[in-house]
Structure 1
Amino acid sequence: MKKLTTLFAILFLSFLSFGQVGSIENIDVEQRTDGSGIVDIYFDLLHSGTANYNISLEASFDGGSTFSPVAPEYLSGDLVEVAPGTGFQIIWDGLASHPDIFTEEAMVKIIANKVEATVTDVEGNVYPYVVIGTQTWMAKNLQTTKYNNGDDITTGLANEAWQNTTSGAYSVFPHTGDSWGNPIEGIDSDGEMINAYGILYNWYAVVDERGVCPTGWRIPTLEDYEALRDFAIGEGYPNEWNSVEGVADALRSTSVAPDPHPRWDAYEWEDYNHLDVYGFNALPSGYRTGNGDYYSLGQHVYWWTTSLFSEDNAWTFRVEYSSGDFSGNPTQQTMGYSVRCIKDE
């Protein structure tokens, strides 16, 4: 057997890490002809959002039976926090990385691992966020029980007190079941419920001047949600209730019962999709009515805006399990709904 000192014949397999949205395409491999064993790899990283990715390589010299990571010291080029785009390059010193491999063929996987961007609230809760079009959104429902100055948000209100308050307050959907008596299986505490679905706030809490969103973030307006909807429409997702590939389908998280929480209930009458195209991760947190009752965990999520519809009603936007549209709804300010924060421009 002859020690490899000449050119590799490279077979390239490209993929993104499990669960990522996007693809590595247009791969071009050029081995240098100077006997150095260096390989230039050109590729495009395509993604409908604008998350960044760390790029790595794995190599196989046994026909693809086993792959081993290529050590970073043998790689250079576009490797760290690469934003989606075209014309990227990796330089691989193949001979130096595997000097004792005797083969004329290497199989290499190009791997893109998403770099998760996060923001932290006043209590230390951490939220991933995503860029969609020109907007930056939290990818998880708000969980804070405090205003930004450290004051506690009022909680524990019985139905009558919840109905009558005009001050900020929050509730946690009962892990014991909704007001119809339907049990919530798989969640055993308030803490688990908050971690899965977030907190339900009345409108007075979300517009309190002390603030609930992290510094540099804010409660969205009606126009912010309309811009999100219009961006998805522009990418080919119709805002139609009977569409199984509508705006709501593009925003809805991919988890569906019997998956673990957080998850959507399965809708038996129509096969609505759970595409989560942009990583927005819409979660069905249910709601608390103005009378204090709890409904629709697994089926609906409503998010508050700061925009008034009338003196006693504010605009919300909703995603539900049985519709493809993403629509605004005027709602009583005493309702308990979820919050998604948007980054200040």
Structure 2
Amino acid sequence: MTCARFLAVFGVVALFVGCSGEGAAGSKTDGLPAEVDLIGSSSSDNVESSGTSDGFVWNMSKETYLNPEVEYGSMIDSRDGKEYRTIIIDGMEWMAENLNYDPGQGGSGENKYDWSWCYDNEPKNCEVAGRLYTWAAAMDSVKTECGYGLTCSPTLPVQGVCPSGWHLPSLDEWKALFASADNTAVGFKLKTMCGWEDDGNGDDSFGFAGFPAGCYEFVYDRFIGSGGLAYFWSSTERGTYEAYSTGKDYSERAYSMNLYDGSVNASMFYTSRYDGYSVRCIKDSE
């Protein structure tokens, strides 16, 4: 099946600073080391960016970007009947597609950070690239009480928005995936073989199929990065990974794993919880 090249409707500046601002900018440079286990800060709170999206729709099926050389498994989400391809990497079974489960969302007030979206609010984009979730929605804050602005120490694994028997990856589980790729050119090994801008496609040697779903930038109420970036939530908040010795409040931050079109590397950063990122789930241990 032929892979097409897709237009990402956003400005270069927006790609650098939108959603994961400093992290995106740093990881697109050639100066990053091949060892991509990076732990740093990433926030767009105080950054102006110029790019926006406008009616973007992927005119492809989700099967198009899967690696035809890989033997995938499958699982069915009993909540809505959706089927997902899966892949085993070093004994860990990952979803090879972004989650597309709609947990529902409220209108305003205390639940406004529990939302999820289709890119550009186009249902077709959810079918191809999955939904974009706030961290609270990904964590399923109704059960975990780990919503926006709350510091918590959830018991791992956290099922969150994932199907029964599956869970949201912790930061350590993302790091284990990096280690499976020898911590070298991780982005290239995890990205899909098509769909990325700026010659950013990978070889998807693990069958992970990291697709450039873009993200939702809550502060500016816009979708950016289609074709140029992929951000995936972890269940690890900033406060539970590092001590509060600095006296800083990290209750608005959680860690994500990030892929970019202009780099063979990948990264892990703490970022604003209220932006909309993709979700991949891991099967629970037997």
Q: What range describes the TM-score normalised by the shorter chain of this pair?
A: 0.5 to 0.7
Match for residue 250 of structure 1? 189
Preserved CA contact (<8 Å) 2:90 2:180 = yes
1:317 and 2:278 matched: no
Q: Which amino acid aligns with 1:172?
A: C
Q: Distance in 1 between matches of 2:169 and 2:71?
A: 25
Structure number having the greater strand percentage: 1
The CA deviation at 1:116 is 3.5
Match for residue 201 of structure 1? 133
The CA deviation at 1:170 is 0.5
Runs of 4+ in 1 over 4 A off after TM superposition: 112-115, 164-167
Match for residue 337 of structure 1? 277
Match for residue 206 of structure 2? 278
Structure number having the greater helix percentage: 2
Match for residue 135 of structure 1? 92
Q: Which has the larger radius of gyration?
A: 1
Q: Distance in 2 between matches of 1:232 and 1:299?
A: 21
The CA deviation at 1:191 is 2.8
1:117 and 2:46 matched: no
1:221 and 2:170 matched: yes
Q: Distance in 2 between matches of 1:113 and 1:338?
A: 24
Q: Distance in 2 between matches of 1:254 and 1:315?
A: 26
SS in 2 for 1:225: helix
Q: Distance in 1 between matches of 2:272 and 2:167?
A: 21
Q: Mapping of 1:11-26 within 5 angstroms?
A: none
The CA deviation at 1:290 is 2.4
Q: Which amino acid aligns with 2:87?
A: V
Preserved CA contact (<8 Å) 2:200 2:260 = no
Aligned in 2, Cα 1:278/1:289: closer, same or farther, shift over 3 Å? same
Q: Which amino acid aligns with 1:247?
A: V
The gaps in structure 1 that reach 5 residues or longer are: 1-17, 20-111, 147-152, 176-189, 239-245, 256-262
Preserved CA contact (<8 Å) 2:231 2:256 = yes
Q: Distance in 2 between matches of 1:247 and 1:134?
A: 18
Q: Deviations over 1:267-308 (max 9, x none)?
A: 1xxx55520001100000100112122110110010001101
Match for residue 156 of structure 2? none
Considering only aligned residues, what root-mean-square deviation do their CA atoms show, in Å? 2.4
Of all paired residues, the percent bearing the same amino acid is 27
Match for residue 36 of structure 2? none
1:301 and 2:247 matched: no
Q: Distance in 1 between matches of 2:233 and 2:207?
A: 20
Aligned residue pairs total 190
Match for residue 196 of structure 2? 264
Aligned in 2, Cα 1:114/1:251: closer, same or farther, shift over 3 Å? closer
The gaps in structure 2 that reach 5 residues or longer are: 3-67, 145-159, 239-249
Preserved CA contact (<8 Å) 2:102 2:116 = yes
Q: 2:181 aligns with which of 229, 232, 240?
A: 232
- Give the TM-score normalised by structure 1: 0.51
Aligned in 2, Cα 1:124/1:281: closer, same or farther, shift over 3 Å? same
Match for residue 11 of structure 2? none
Preserved CA contact (<8 Å) 1:232 1:247 = yes
Q: Distance in 2 between matches of 1:131 and 1:328?
A: 21
Q: Distance in 1 between matches of 2:130 and 2:200?
A: 24
